Amino acid sequence: MASKAKAKAKPNAPKTKIAIPPPRLDYARLLSDPEATARNVRERAMPLPSDVVAELGRLREQALSLETQLNRTRHEQGLASASLRDTKDKDGKAAAVARARELKEAVQALEREHREVEDTLLRVAGSLPNFSNPAAPIGAEENATTLETFGPERLPASPLRDHVDVADRFGWLDNAASAIATGTSWPFLLGALAQLEHALVGYAVDMAAREGFTPVSPPDVVAVDIAARCGFQPRDGPGEDAPRQTYTIESEGERQLCLTGTAEVPLAALWANRTLGADQMPARVVGVGKAFRAEAGARGADTRGLYRVHQFTKVELFAVTTAEQNRVLDMPTQELGASAARKYDMEAWMPGRGKWGEITSTSNCTDYQARRLHIRYKDAEGTHFAHTLNGTAAAVPRLIVALLENGAKIEDGEVTGVQLPRVLERYWVGNLPEHVEWK
Ligand SMILES: *[C@@H]1O[C@H](CO)[C@@H](O)[C@H](O)[C@H]1NC(C)=O
Ligand SMILES: *[C@@H]1O[C@H](CO)[C@@H](O)[C@H](O)[C@H]1NC(C)=O
Ligand SMILES: *[C@@H]1O[C@H](CO)[C@@H](O)[C@H](O)[C@H]1NC(C)=O
Ligand SMILES: *[C@@H]1O[C@H](CO)[C@@H](O)[C@H](O)[C@H]1NC(C)=O
Ligand SMILES: *[C@@H]1O[C@H](CO)[C@@H](O)[C@H](O)[C@H]1NC(C)=O
Ligand SMILES: *[C@H]1O[C@H](CO)[C@@H](O)[C@H](O)[C@H]1NC(C)=O
């Protein structure tokens, strides 16, 4: 037989032959109050059909009715085999054989139909976001509540402090080289900025490890199926025209792979299909990964400089907890990723941009990811789905923007250097470059 040409998987039709069981979603909870589920989708402004919950209800009923028919037909099949064994006369035997064959085919057809409906049910339910925490503010970004403001007095906004100009002035960014190597928004950090990246990563990992997070170096490529189970879809909405969120890559073998949008995905996969003991909880890790964002600059915002880029280094915290454990780790509903119930962002003042900019984000995903990845724990009462929490310890380019724009030293209307926080000194590699000093 001619060898089968290796099929190139389409981004939206991932081939996902994977040995972990399908997500175990709580249909009863999703359908116990259909109006509440529909309101949750609306409040999060998810690009889903308006009748998605009604569709879910119909599919669930259809699946149950097929299951009932299947059970009844299997029961009849059992009776027919028994009668086949017991029938001795020739004519009766032939009739019983025909009947058994008929029932076997009916069972197979019902099984097929049931499986198809179950698959659709899982796909539709899987597209629903997690329930928002009732205390999360409702609406778009401007409805966020400020919980706390700290740090020194804000510097006045000033175009002189623009991080791109500061970095260009001292030769720390090379946009011409970026354009040749890859393209815009794929930055080359040179000299002081590359050293600053090492220092920030060292500082963040050190702090997290001292707090009891186990350091992990995760892969930066994950299976599309695993990313989807964590709440990341290849596209930002249905259809081929929706902006792409992730970069899918040419894959070897059965599984469609993509570049990680955040190390949260491989860190969550670390516990997939496992059951932890109650004494192992909370399980906490800190991972350094590359984050790849296909959509950076897609909406024409912040295409300049380091604020939104296609690739960056990120130190990520991830915890698996019981439903009760956790400490507080408030973003409005439309700002929550599909899996999060509540999200806290921290913003830094960026005087060169003249705006506040998000530098970290921490999400409570309750059991959304755990149900999809089968992350469980066992205690005296039995086995339960765990809760997962994730947060940024350091998103390097955003911190560089904040540090350059706040640290720029201005003399006689000119930037003469940059002052960096002394806590980074311990983590600095090599010599302190010209134009950089500790504050
Ligand atoms: C997932 O867990 C089940 C049950 O423990 C096991 O049979 C299966 O092999 C596991 N899959 C993988 C990929 O480890
Ligand atoms: C069908 O039979 C299975 C196995 O006996 C049972 O668990 C399930 O509840 C039955 N389903 C329905 C809808 O009666
Ligand atoms: C902010 O919240 C209020 C009250 O819930 C709501 O009426 C308004 O539409 C929200 N604004 C945005 C931009 O979502
Ligand atoms: C996460 O959210 C759930 C319910 O929304 C809550 O029970 C749990 O305490 C929360 N965890 C944290 C850390 O806030
Ligand atoms: C944490 O998880 C949420 C939901 O999956 C996601 O939207 C957010 O980007 C993640 N945060 C970080 C820092 O990766
Ligand atoms: C997310 O939230 C709740 C807990 O807050 C959980 O019980 C529910 O199953 C989750 N919803 C989805 C759609 O996964």
Q: Which residue is closest in CA terms to ligand 4's atom 11? A: 326
- Pair 262, 395: CB distance under 8 Å: no
Look at residues 254, 265, 253 and name the one whose alpha carbon lies nearest to residue 229.
Answer: 265
Does the pLDDT at position 217 exceed 90?
yes
Same domain flag for 196 and 158: yes
DSSP codes joined into one string, 294-347: TTTTTTSSS-STTSS-SEEEEEEEEEEE-SS--------GGGS-TT-SEEEEEE
Say yes or no: CB of residue 190 within 6 Å of ligand 1.
no
Give the range among 198-202, 212-216, 232-236, 274-278 with minimum mean pLDDT: 232-236
The CA radius of gyration of the chain, in Å to the nearest whole number, is 27
* Highest mean pLDDT of the ranges 141-150, 245-254, 416-425: 416-425
Higher pLDDT, 339 or 353: 353
- Measure 331 CA to ligand 4 centroid, in angstroms: 14
CA of 120 to the centre of ligand 5 (A): 26
Closest CA to 304 of 353, 342, 267, 265: 353
Name the least confident of 141-150, 278-287, 335-344. Answer: 335-344
Give the residue ranges of the annotated binding site for L-serine: 262, 293, 316, 390
Say whether pLDDT at 263 is over 90: yes
Determine if residue 423 is left, alpha or beta; phi over 0 gives left, psi from -120 to 50 gives alpha, anything else beta: alpha
Residue 134 lies in a domain: no
> What average pLDDT does the segment 267-281 reach?
94
Domain stop point among 72, 98, 127: 127
The answer as to whether 91 is a domain residue is yes
- Please report the pLDDT score of residue 11 as a whole number: 42
Ligand 4: residue whose CA is nearest its atom 10: 364
Q: Which ligand is nearest to the CA of 140?
A: 3
**Is omega for the bond preceding 215 within 30 degrees of 0, making it cis?**
no
- Whether residues 422 and 382 share a domain: the answer is yes
The pairing of strands 274-277 and 375-379 is parallel
Whether 68 is in a domain gets the answer yes
Give helix 52-86 / helix 34-43 axis angle, nearest 10°.
Answer: 130
- Find the 151 Cα to ligand 1 centroid distance in Å: 49
Asked if residue 91 and residue 173 are part of one domain, the reply reads no
Is it the case that residue 224 has pLDDT exceeding 70? yes
The per-residue pLDDT for 8 is: 41
How much is the average pLDDT of 191-197?
98
Tell whether ligand 1 has an atom less than 6 A from the beta carbon of residue 2. no
Distance (Å) from CA 65 to ligand 2 centroid: 11
Co-location of 44 and 78 in the same domain: yes
The answer as to whether 283 is a domain residue is yes
* Residue closest to 375 by CA, chosen among 260, 253, 285, 248: 285
Using CA atoms, how far residue 188 sits from 107, 191, 295, in Å, is 61, 10, 19
On whether both 164 and 113 belong to a single domain, the answer is no
The answer on pLDDT for 327 being more than 70 is no
Q: Which of 19-28, 283-292, 330-339, 404-413 has the lowest mean pLDDT?
A: 330-339
Q: What is the CATH number of the domain that holds 424?
A: 3.30.930.10
Stated pTM of the model: 0.84
Paired residues of 376 in beta bridges: 275, 385
Q: pLDDT of 100-157, one tens digit each? A: 999 999 999 999 999 999 999 999 998 898 899 888 889 888 888 888 887 889 999 9
- Let me know: does 323 contact 385? Beta carbons within 8 Å: no
Residues 34 and 175 in one domain: no
**261 in Cβ contact with 227 (< 8 Å):** yes
Dist. CA 110–CA 93, nearest whole Å: 26
283 Cβ closer than 6 Å to some ligand 4 atom: no
Q: Which domain range does residue 122 map to?
A: 27-127
User: Are both 79 and 101 inside the same structural domain?
Assistant: yes
Residue 4: is its pLDDT beyond 60? no
The reply to whether ligand 3 has any atom less than 6 angstroms from the CB of 42 is no
Indicate the pairing of strand 214-216 with strand 283-292: parallel
98 domain residue, yes or no: yes
Q: Are residue 350 and residue 268 in the same domain, yes or no?
A: yes
pLDDT > 70 in the chain, percent = 90
Q: Is residue 21 part of a domain?
A: no
Instruction: State which of 127, 155, 177 marks the end of a domain.
Output: 127
- Residue 393, SS3? strand
What rounded mean pLDDT belongs to the chain? 88
Per-residue buried b or exposed e for 137-156, using 16+ beta carbons within 10 Å of the residue's own CB: beeeeeebeeeeeeeeeebe
For residue 374, is pLDDT > 70? Answer: yes
| Whether residue 152 sits in one domain with residue 301 | yes
Residue scoring higher pLDDT (91 or 206): 206
The verdict on 316 and 226 lying in the same domain is: yes
DSSP 334-388: GGS-TT-SEEEEEEEEETTTTEEEEEEEEEE-TTHHHHHHTEEEEETTEEEE-EE
* Total count of domains within the chain: 2
Q: Do the Cβ atoms of 223 and 18 come closer than 8 Å?
A: yes
- Distance (Å) from CA 127 to ligand 2 centroid: 26
pLDDT band at 46 (very low <50, low <70, confident <90, very high): confident
In a domain, residue 122? The reply is yes
Atom of ligand 6 nearest to the CA of 368: 14
Q: Is residue 157 part of a domain?
A: yes
**Which atom of ligand 4 is nearest to 364's Cα?**
1
User: Whole-angstrom distance between the N-terminal and C-terminal Cα of the chain?
Assistant: 72
Check residue 7 and give its pLDDT.
Answer: 40
Boundary residue ending a domain (65, 99, 127): 127
- For residue 143, what pLDDT is reported? 87
Q: Which ligand is nearest to the CA of 273?
A: 1
Annotated binding site: 262, 293-295, 309-312, 316, 358-361, 390
Q: What percent of the chain has pLDDT above 90? A: 65
Edge-first strand listing for the sheet containing 248-249: 221-223, 257-259, 248-249
pLDDT tier, 304 (very low <50, low <70, confident <90, very high otherwise): confident
Parallel, antiparallel, or unpaired: how do β-strands 257-259 and 248-249 relate? antiparallel
Residue 162 and residue 65 share a domain: no
Residue 30 CA to ligand 6 center (angstroms) comes to 8
Least confident stretch, 36-45, 196-205, 410-419, 429-438: 36-45
Q: Give the pLDDT score at 6.
A: 39
| Shared domain check, 175 and 33 | no
What CATH number does the domain containing 53 carry?
1.10.287.40
